[in-house]
Chain A
């Protein structure tokens, strides 16, 4: 199988963000970056398929400035075979522009399967995978939490609100990966060494004019400080009174 995985370099979310001086970007100082979790699970899914299907090849693709090569190398160190860096000064917010630039590359690859994470936590828009599928004219299943592939056909599970969908699709196809599909392997020392020698092509991104632009970023308003109603079960009547008379939610 020929499998492509599109990955994004994202900041660690476990910090207090600051808004940059331009007011439209997050201050990068002090942030730690790594591969988006959802994308790491997509890489893992590709590697598991490669393990099962001899002769498979996994290509990792990332759009962005030169630093995204670190993210590609991380996926190569997990076991992917080659990388393609679609070079752009920065990653725009516009998901259509990203999907167009990626599909221009993806359509030349003859891939049986194209994987994306279902979203990235930084832009939190979650549209690039299904938009790329549409531009490529390929079948697409989003936010999968299980995957079986046999005889050119796939079956996947999607988590809905309070329900699950079981979905069948033919190959080639585009899939986006949700949490719960797998646990991403850690790169081994051997993998890290091997990754340094794996091919990594660099190509310019063809980014179209954005149709959506960030005008302003701000930090959300802090919640008003709450209060401790009391201790133990004895505080329940007072809580119920407040929910009825003050919050008016009961």
Chain B
């Protein structure tokens, strides 16, 4: 029986889905260890405290709320100091972070401050005696490592989308706390968070990802992909490296680059032939659909369902059909 710490990722006053995933993962780990408590750190600007009950719903026994007007943007130094101080005093068996842009920034700093190592991009975990044993993709997902973490606390950054947020209501006792350092004193300052670049939903979090490749022939034809994403309503738009290198889409949209792996429920590849890098970035998606005019394209080897055909005919038809299907739900 051991307590587990969870870092709840936020953007502004929104709790991000990966934040709920971290709480869910911490709950699973605490329960596997024989029923410890989950203590979740919720850090953000004025208004973030209103999200504390939701964190309890997802399995936190204690929600440490740190609300400060100076936290409208992510502050790496405030988040590091506040998480590390709490972890030092809490005697936790493990700490769960997210392998998101923010989590990749934060979790290693916190671990280093505690003098413990860390594994990021964790796919699954189990307790094995004194160690926590995790699975972690290496070599762009072409090799899977089983890694034993002897450090206490064991610091794990979960890969987005591998653990679905699950309601499992606990007390969610709120403890209000101050940031460990004054946000105004931080040396590194995020002066602006610009929304945009990519679809309306985050690639890492979206249950559906529609990705476009060179088969779309021109930047403006990404409209087809965006329309299909809009028809789903819960889809993000991604792109291949070829397309982002050509400047059709921002680099942040790229799937298959080292470290930008997606695992949505449904992945639709539009005009993507399936370069090795790209396949490594999306092969763990639950269901893969590919539309490509070349029947020998490598993408069809990983696709559950393929349509051989012209994307300019197939995608508008699919968009219309998805719109119809959504109407009847």
- Is B a genuine binding partner of A? yes
Given A140-B188, A165-B74, A212-B148: A231 in contact with B108 (beta carbons within 8 A): no
Q: How far is the CB of B97 from chain A (nearest CB, A)?
A: 11
| Set A16, A165, A220: member contacting B190, Cβ < 8 A | A165
Please name all residues of chain A whose beta carbon is closer than 8 Å to the beta carbon of B108 when the two chains form the complex. Answer: 95, 126-131, 134
Name the residue on A nearest B321 (C-beta). Answer: A240
Please name all residues of chain B whose beta carbon is closer than 8 Å to the beta carbon of A225 when the two chains form the complex. Answer: 301
Q: Is there contact, CB below 8 Å, between B145 and A143?
A: no
Please name all residues of chain A whose beta carbon is closer than 8 Å to the beta carbon of B149 when the two chains form the complex. Answer: 211-212
Identify 5 residue pairs between A and B in the complex whose beta-carbon atoms are under 8 Å apart, listed by A's number.
A37-B258, A38-B258, A139-B77, A161-B198, A164-B252
Please name all residues of chain B whose beta carbon is closer than 8 Å to the beta carbon of A99 when the two chains form the complex. Answer: 112
Please name all residues of chain B whose beta carbon is closer than 8 Å to the beta carbon of A126 when the two chains form the complex. Answer: 104, 108, 120-121, 259
| Set B112, B208, B322: member contacting A130, Cβ < 8 A | B112
Q: Is there contact, CB below 8 Å, between A233 and B313?
A: yes
Please name all residues of chain A whose beta carbon is closer than 8 Å to the beta carbon of B105 when the two chains form the complex. Answer: 130, 142-143, 158
Q: How far is the CB of B43 from chain A (nearest CB, A)?
A: 16
Q: Which segment, of A55-63, A72-80, A83-91, A241-249, faces chain B?
A: A241-249
Per-residue A-contact encoding for B115-138, CB less than 8 Å = 1, 0 else: 111111100000000000100111
A positions within 8 Å CB-CB of B = 11, 13-14, 16-17, 19, 26, 37-38, 93-97, 99, 118-135, 139-143, 145, 158-170, 173, 178-180, 210-220, 223-233, 235-237, 239-240, 242-244, 247, 249-250
Q: Is there contact, CB below 8 Å, between A162 and B252?
A: yes
Please name all residues of chain A whose beta carbon is closer than 8 Å to the beta carbon of B100 when the two chains form the complex. Answer: 160-161
Besides the known contacts A97-B117, A232-B308, A232-B310, 20 further A-B residue pairs in the complex with CB atoms under 8 A apart: A13-B280, A26-B143, A124-B138, A131-B109, A161-B205, A166-B190, A169-B187, A212-B117, A212-B119, A212-B149, A218-B144, A218-B146, A219-B144, A228-B308, A231-B307, A231-B309, A233-B313, A236-B314, A242-B305, A243-B305
Q: Is there contact, CB below 8 Å, between A140 and B109?
A: yes
What separation, in Å, do the CA atoms of A234 and B235 have in the docked complex? Answer: 24
Chain B, range 172-199, C-beta contacts under 8 Å to A: 187-199
Q: Is there contact, CB below 8 Å, between B139 and A26?
A: yes
Per-residue A-contact encoding for B281-325, CB less than 8 Å = 1, 0 else: 001101111000001000011111111111001101110011001
Please name all residues of chain A whose beta carbon is closer than 8 Å to the beta carbon of B203 when the two chains form the complex. Answer: 161-162
Q: Is there contact, CB below 8 Å, between B101 and A123?
A: no
Number of A-B contacts (CB under 8 A): 300
Q: Which 4 pairs, one residue from A and one from B, show the smallest C-beta to C-beta distance?
A: A134-B112, A161-B202, A127-B108, A232-B309
Name the residue on B nearest A244 (C-beta). Answer: B325
Given A159-B251, A167-B188, A233-B313: A215 in contact with B111 (beta carbons within 8 A): no
Q: How far is the CB of B256 from chain A (nearest CB, A)?
A: 11
For residue B147, CB closer than 8 A to chain A, the reply is yes
Q: Is there contact, CB below 8 Å, between B317 and A214?
A: no
Please report the total number of B residues contacting A with Cβ < 8 Å: 102
Q: Is there contact, CB below 8 Å, between A13 and B236?
A: no
What separation, in Å, do the CA atoms of A214 and B138 have in the docked complex? Answer: 11
Please name all residues of chain B whose beta carbon is closer than 8 Å to the beta carbon of A242 when the two chains form the complex. Answer: 305
Given A26-B143, A96-B117, A240-B325: A223 in contact with B111 (beta carbons within 8 A): no
Q: How far is the CB of A244 from chain B (nearest CB, A)?
A: 7
Q: Is there contact, CB below 8 Å, between A162 and B190?
A: no
What separation, in Å, do the CA atoms of A214 and B119 have in the docked complex? Answer: 11
Please name all residues of chain B whose beta carbon is closer than 8 Å to the beta carbon of A141 when the two chains form the complex. Answer: 76, 188
Name the residue on B nearest A128 (C-beta). Answer: B108
What separation, in Å, do the CA atoms of A216 and B257 have in the docked complex? Answer: 25
For residue B113, CB closer than 8 A to chain A, the reply is yes
Q: Is there contact, CB below 8 Å, between A233 and B101?
A: no
Q: Is there contact, CB below 8 Å, between B101 and A223?
A: no
Q: Is there contact, CB below 8 Å, between B322 and A159?
A: no
Q: How far is the CB of A136 from chain B (nearest CB, A)?
A: 10
Name the residue on A nearest B123 (C-beta). Answer: A220
For residue B230, CB closer than 8 A to chain A, the reply is no
What separation, in Å, do the CA atoms of A162 and B16 have in the docked complex? Answer: 12
| Set B107, B143, B202: member contacting A19, Cβ < 8 A | B143
Q: Is there contact, CB below 8 Å, between B287 and A243?
A: yes
Please name all residues of chain A whose beta carbon is closer than 8 Å to the beta carbon of B288 when the two chains form the complex. Answer: 223, 226
For residue B80, CB closer than 8 A to chain A, the reply is yes
Given A119-B259, A250-B322: A125 in contact with B120 (beta carbons within 8 A): yes
Given A130-B109, A160-B252, A239-B289: A213 in contact with B148 (beta carbons within 8 A): yes
Q: Is there contact, CB below 8 Å, between B109 and A133?
A: yes
Given A166-B192, A247-B287: A232 in contact with B307 (beta carbons within 8 A): yes
What separation, in Å, do the CA atoms of A97 and B11 have in the docked complex? Answer: 32
What separation, in Å, do the CA atoms of A227 and B119 have in the docked complex? Answer: 36
| Set A119, A143, A217, A229: member contacting B306, Cβ < 8 A | A229
Q: Is there contact, CB below 8 Å, between A166 and B101?
A: no
Most chain B CB inside 10 Å of its own CB: which residue of A129, A212, A250: A212
For residue B151, CB closer than 8 A to chain A, the reply is yes
What separation, in Å, do the CA atoms of A218 and B2 have in the docked complex? Answer: 31
Given A215-B133, A231-B307, A232-B307: A125 in contact with B80 (beta carbons within 8 A): no
